[in-house]
Amino acid sequence: MTVIARFEVRHSQFLDEHGEIAAPLPEFARDPQNLIALYRWMVLMRAYDAKAIALQRTGQLGTFASLLGQEAVNAGVGSAMAEDDVFLMTYRENGVQMMRGVTIKELFLYWGGDERGSAFLTPRRDFPICITIAAHVTHAVGAAYAMKLRREPRVAVCALGDGATSKGDFHEGLNAAGAWTLPVVFVVTNNQWAISVPRGTQSAARTLAQKAIAAGIEGLQVDGNDVIAVRHAMDQALAKARGGGGPTLIEALTYRLSDHTTADDATRYRNPDEVAEAWKNEPLQRLRTHLTACGAWDKGKEDALLKHCNEKVQAAAQAYLDIPAPAPEQIFDHLYATLPAALQKQRAEALGE
């Protein structure tokens, strides 16, 4: 027996769960102002999330998937990407979407069951939310292929969950991205649960980062509650991709603090102690501790920020609620570039109703 290949999976963390510095900070994180910018986004995400749930509970929004606990992954990814990169996402990346220019009103529209919520113009080329798990991994490969073919210094960033790594499309896409050395970054947000299925039931793989080995690409794990670690890994992966170095898979370890969606009741299958434990590890507190320790943050700033975020979210909610319902015939709009004759008849049928 000869050893013919060796692999390692590394883990990175800069701020530990107590907000203490665990490793020398990367350049960008040495300026607290940069971290404050990230923190502000994370607080806005949390305010948005709370509002969305409140709207849903009062019958003013459809089923909603909370990103509670995953703010650091969102902020790390959203802040690292360039404007003309392309983002391909699941339903739990609304935070990244905001940072890229999707308005909160549009996000509410989406969850309100209105197609206009995916019609956002900024970011112009980002894909719509992908509900069918992992299907968008192959879309990311295609988008990245187009960028590479045209010699553009752009990157496709594809976010997915731990559950998604079990799906064939994930593997097919990852493998192809490796085969063509494409400019794509896969971010696996390992929040430990896929609805009621815990990470350990999903796969015997010790880490999800090691899924990259099958595709012959680089995989690494980061503390997904440490926004610095996420951002740093993204910076490196994006730079590598832009430089022709090919794909990277980043497993971001975090925790889904909420129910799967508002239609779910996680107490049915999840130990409350585990959730309580996870709360100690949540990403906002740790960053706030660090910023406070740096002298860059205090209670006054915190209160002002919370107020600002709540107002912003409230205004967006109102704007959303004020939008008139779409016209019934919108179900025929944009189905094709030009509505075929056969469908014009059906449209008339529908209007005749």
Partner 1 sequence: MAQITLVEAVNLALKREMGNDPSVVVLGQDVGIDGGVFRATLGLIERFGRERVIDTPLAEALIAGMSIGMAVEGLKPVAEIQFAGFAYTTLDQMLNHAGRMRHRTQGRLSCPMVLRTPCGAGIHAPEHHSESPEAMFAQIPGIRVVYPSSPRRAYGLLLAAIRDPDPVVFLEPTRLYRLFKEEVEDDGNAFALDTCFTVRDGTDVTLVSWGAMVHDTLAAADDLIEQGIAAEVIDVATLKPLDMDTILASVARTGRCVIVSEAARTCSFASEIAASLAEEGLLTLLAPVQRITGYDVVVPLPRLEKHYLPSKRRIIGAAKKALEFS
Tell me which residues touch ligand TPP (CB under 6 A).
90, 92, 131-133, 161-164, 191, 193-195, 256, 260
Residues belonging to the chain: 353
Identify whether 110 is a catalytic site residue. no
Tell which residue, 282, 49, 65, has the closest CA to residue 161: 65
Which helix (H) or strand (E) segment holds residue 211: the answer is: helix 211-214
Q: Which is nearer to ligand TPP, 163 or 224 (CB)?
A: 163
Looking at residue 247, what DSSP letter applies? -
The DSSP secondary-structure symbol of 188 reads E
Amino acid at 129: I
Cα angle for residues 272, 273, 276 (degrees, 5° grid): 90
Q: In sequence order, which residues have a C-beta less than 8 Å from that of residue 292 and are 6 or more positions away?
A: 298
Q: How far is the CB of 82 from Mg ion (least distance, A)?
A: 27
In three-state form (DSSP H/G/I as H, E/B as E, the rest C), the secondary structure along 101-167 is CCCHHHHHHHHCCCHHHHCCCCCCCCCCCCCCCCHHHHHHHHHHHHHHHCCCCCCEEEEEECHHHHC
- Of residues 164 through 183, those in contact with partner 1 by CB under 8 A are 164, 166-169, 172-173, 175-176, 179
Residues numbered 39 to 78 that lie near partner 1 (CB under 8 A) are 62-63
Closer of 117 and 161 to ligand TPP (Cβ): 161
Q: Can the peptide bond before residue 128 be classed as cis, meaning omega within 30 degrees of 0? A: no
Q: Which of 1, 4, 5, 325 binds partner 1 (CB under 8 A)?
A: 325
- For the bound state, the minimum distance from the C-beta of residue 211 to partner 1, rounded and expressed in Å, comes to 12
Question: Does the active-site annotation cover 269?
Answer: yes
For a second copy, the binding residue among 207, 248, 258, 281 (CB under 8 A) is 207
Whether 199 sits among the annotated catalytic residues: the reply is: no
Residue 11 interacts with a second copy (CB under 8 A)? yes
Question: Does the footprint of a second copy cover residue 201 (CB under 8 A)?
Answer: yes
172 counts as binding a second copy under rule CB under 8 A? yes
Nearer to ligand TPP, 195 or 351 (CB): 195
Q: Measure Cα distances from 145 to 77, 139, 203, 249 in Å.
A: 21, 10, 29, 17
C-alpha distance from residue 163 to each of 38, 233, 308 (Å): 27, 21, 35
**Per-residue mark of binding to partner 1, 326-345 (x: CB under 8 A):** x-x-xxxxxxxx--xxxx--
205 binds, among partner 1, Mg ion, a second copy, none (CB under 5 to 8 A by kind): a second copy
CB 162, min distance to Mg ion, A? 4
List 136, 231, 260, 288, catalytic entry: 260
Among residues 179, 199, 197, the alpha carbon closest in space to that of 189 is found at: 199
Catalytic residue among 92, 136, 231, 256: 256
Q: List residues near a second copy by CB under 8 A.
A: 1-12, 23, 166-172, 175-176, 178-179, 181, 201-207, 210-217, 220-221, 246
Which residues are known catalytic residues? Answer: 256, 260, 269
